[in-house]
Amino acid sequence: MNKNAFIITITVSVMVIALSVFYYLVILPIHTSNELGRCLKRAEAHPYEKLKQDYRDNCFKQFK
């Protein structure tokens, strides 16, 4: 294996690791908070207060 191929392999590996870290630290939390917000809006739209609280509790359990 020549030197250039080794450097390209290391560079691509570092880029893949950096992209994975970015996804787990930035993209995934934003997506989860958006989904939690949607879940809570559906819970608030429910007409019965007891069921509203149950739906809210389920939202927080789901996105723990």
Asked if the structure places residue 41 within a domain, the reply is yes
What residue numbers bound the domain in which 33 lies?
Answer: 17-62
Number of domains in the chain: 1
pLDDT in tens, 24-62: 998 888 888 888 888 888 888 878 888 888 888 888 888
The reply to whether 9 falls in a domain is: no
CA-derived radius of gyration, the chain: 21
What is the C-alpha end-to-end distance of the chain, expressed in Å? Answer: 47
pLDDT in tens, 2-21: 888 899 999 999 999 999 99
